A = this chain, B = another copy of it.
């Protein structure tokens, strides 16, 4: 997972952050598309377009697959359930082997979900919440185990932070994640710093991955330079191994064949490209991936969020008043300069941050479409659009705060204890 101060806020737990603080800007040049200068790496997401990163180009560059309507139809067919809005709206826009995971599920075979978060600050914001909301929907649809990795080690390696503080943040963030409403019988959350001293398979699998990746390969994928410390060079293996079920023998027993689906931000793809490359060499299954795009900062998709600027995002600790003021004052508007002009030409939903946020947080498709039509036609004004968003966000944050307050240390411990979940994994039959 990622590191450093926030950059463009993304909707993923595997969050993209700015590399400015320690000079890593410019890493990952291989992912720079010179025609529009988008930069997408696990540590830097940067674009000069108000509409945000060009995802079509990114899919070409990364060599992943676009989410197409056929696949979405197959999703609903196989699951018999309606899909999460973020998938329907193609905010999760790209994948690797999602079709195979659907086949696995259709055949009654097991798989599991893995996502994670680099714990970066006490107060998580909206962008940090979405991937967990999404993953929870996936877990409910498929009824599978979910593994959540908190990369406190990574945060120590990339940020100016003590190990103690990074570990503390992992536990604080765990409370927010738990508040999303996960089922402790089906969900295992761990801190790397703690888990390393609990589960032998973790370090063993890390070594297996590290032995399979050359410095030259890591440099090519992640853009490491000679002045990067050796902790960074080895770290990709730490994020790789939760993709392998053998890292969790207390959950999956002796099974080596249970595939994994990783919902993550497209900026995290480099980690899993490496993981997918080494998996077959190690006798492990390649993880399947489901990639999301990024949620813009309040100031717009091309504006860098700054950890020192609380007005660039809505925090899960914000009051109703703070939310209202932030949206009214800072949310970048796609509306016209004057009322007359707006009524005549209409607003531009593609760059309007309030409308973009509603795409993430308003589940009602019909209402969203109505807003789009009204705002684009000029019938709806920017103030009215913002009011819609404020109502949605105030409820979301209030509900979250309430649930988070109810999370006790005992609950955290329950989720973070190395234990069997409620699923059984008998040894697979030799034939068939």
Contacts and interface: CB of A to CB of B under 8 A. Distances in A.
B204 A157 contact: no
A156 interface: yes
B214 A226 contact: yes
B197 A153 contact: no
A307 interface: no
Contacts of A218: 230
Contact of A210 (B196, B197, B229): B229
Contacts of A156: 207, 211
A163 B204 contact: yes
A89 interface: no
A229 B215 contact: yes
Nearest to A152: B207
A153 B193 CA distance: 19
How many copies make up the complex?
Answer: 2
Interface string A221-237: 00011111111011011
27 contacts: A153-B203, A156-B207, A157-B210, A157-B211, A196-B203, A197-B198, A203-B203, A207-B231, A210-B230, A210-B234, A211-B229, A213-B230, A214-B226, A214-B227, A214-B229, A214-B230, A215-B215, A215-B224, A215-B225, A215-B226, A215-B228, A215-B233, A216-B226, A218-B230, A230-B237, A233-B233, A233-B234
Interface of A: 153, 156-157, 163, 193-194, 196-200, 202-204, 207-208, 210-216, 218-219, 224-231, 233-234, 236-237
